[in-house]
Amino acid sequence: MPVSSADPVAISASTLTHLQRLEAESIHIMREVVANAENPVMLYSVGKDSACMLHLAKKAFYPAPPPFPLLHVDTTWKFKEMYKLRQKAADDAGMKLIVHQNPDALAQGINPFDHGSMHTDMWKTEGLKQALTKYNFDVAFGGARRDEEKSRAKERIFSFRSANHRWDPKQQRPELWKLYNTRKAKGESIRAFPLSNWTELDIWQYIHLENIEIVPLYFAAPRPVVEWNGMLIMVDDERFPLAPGQVPEMKSVRFRTLGCYPLSGAVESKATTLPEVIQEMLLTTTSERQGRAIDHDQAASMEKKKQEGYF
């Protein structure tokens, strides 16, 4: 029997690039959701992945606006610049923006300084569950990627959650070809991840190519920072509990991931353009999630969070 040899394929004009194919796949997933869901919503965190996902949604349904609202599960502790972009992004896309803040967390004044992991649990995990239940959303788009963390590598594109929003890695459905089984029982909901197969580099390249607007915090600028919990934290407002006599230092920094400002570590950088940011990212030697305080403790901590309903 003949044994084939490697046969190089000439790249013809019609050979699609990896970004074109990822884009086509994400659009396909979004359209499948809209064709099958009763009341879908897109989770929007104002970060770069959200920006990318929102841009893809505009493409998927053009010339119509995306036929679902954006939902921001707010903690009141995001960067000021994030709040500034939030409404503008929704308006530009012609979409309704829903902001949900967990009323219990608000009443108890839950904050990242005094409450540790409870901050994430109550504002984000509980807040998300409350919002999905309150508005009766049956499918929520999320910007999670499989390359972010080991337990996410096995996450399906359509991920089913029980009525109390729990994730059971043993009960996920096989996904074959492009055939997504979107049927669900009463009370169940779906998280759909159209960016599953994108990597961090893909996201940055796409933002660059498509000229997608992102929060300026991703670019280096002189910002007031202090060292806190081993990270460089930007003092974004007067709520930051500076020690007596402590004065923030102005440093040229940027952020690789954005969340609550007291939990987002800055990196010292001179990168003021997208190509420079990508350059730094490619030459750097620490992975993306390290800038986030929530999952430093154990390798499997993200998985535990997910089973409890954190996105």
Partner 1 sequence: MTVATNPAYITETLIAEDIDAYLVKHQHKTMLRFITCGSVDDGKSTLIGRLLYDSKMIFEDQLATLENDSKMHGTQGQGIDFALLVDGLAAEREQGITIDVAYRFFATDKRKFIVADTPGHEQYTRNMVTGASTADLAVILIDARQGVLTQTRRHSYLVNLLGIKNIVLAVNKMDLVGYSAERFYEIVSEYSHFAKQIGMKSFLPIPISGLAGDNIVTRSENTAWYQGPTLLGHLEDAPITVARMQDAPFRMAVQWVNRPNLDFRGFAGLIGSGSIAPGDAIRILPSGKTTTVKSIVTYGGNLDRAVAGQSVTLTFNDEVDCSRGDVITTADAPCEVADQFEATLVWMGEAEMLPGRPYLLKMGTQTLTATVTEPKYEVNVNTLEHLTSDTLKLNAIGVVNISTDRAIPFDSYANNPDLGGFILIDRATNATIAAGMVHFALRRSQNIHWQALDVDRTAHAAIKNQQPKVVWFTGLSGSGKSTIANIVEKKLHAMGKHTFLLDGDNVRHGLNRDLGFTDADRVENIRRVGEVARLMTDAGLIVLTAFISPFQAERRLVRDMMDAGEFMEVYVDTPLEVAESRDVKGLYKKARAGNLKNFTGIDSPYEAPEAPELTVNTTALTAEEAAELVIAAILAS
Q: Applying CB under 8 A, does 159 fall inside the site for partner 1?
A: no
* Residues paired with residue 51 on neighbouring β-strands, in sequence order: none
Q: Applying CB under 8 A, does 163 fall inside the site for partner 1?
A: no
CA distance 172 to 166: 12
The minimum distance between CB 206 and partner 1, in angstroms, equals: 10
Give the residue, chosen from 32, 121, 236, 295, that forms a contact with partner 1 under the rule CB under 8 A.
Answer: 32
CA distance 101 to 118: 15
270 φ, ψ to 5°?
A: -115, 5
Contacts (CB under 8 A) with partner 1, residues 98-157: 146-147, 150-151, 153-154
Q: Applying CB under 8 A, does 37 fall inside the site for partner 1?
A: no
Q: Applying CB under 8 A, does 290 fall inside the site for partner 1?
A: yes
Contacts (CB under 8 A) with partner 1, residues 190-209: 196-197, 199, 201-202, 205, 208-209
Contact region with partner 1 (CB under 8 A), list: 28-36, 129-137, 222-230, 260-268: 28-36
- 176 close to 65: Cβ distance less than 8 angstroms: no
Contact region with partner 1 (CB under 8 A), list: 57-65, 103-111, 217-225, 239-247: 57-65
Written as one letter, the residue type at 254 is R
The minimum distance between CB 247 and partner 1, in angstroms, equals: 30
Q: Applying CB under 8 A, does 270 fall inside the site for partner 1?
A: no
Closer of 109 and 186 to partner 1 (Cβ): 186
Closer of 209 and 242 to partner 1 (Cβ): 209
The minimum distance between CB 160 and partner 1, in angstroms, equals: 9
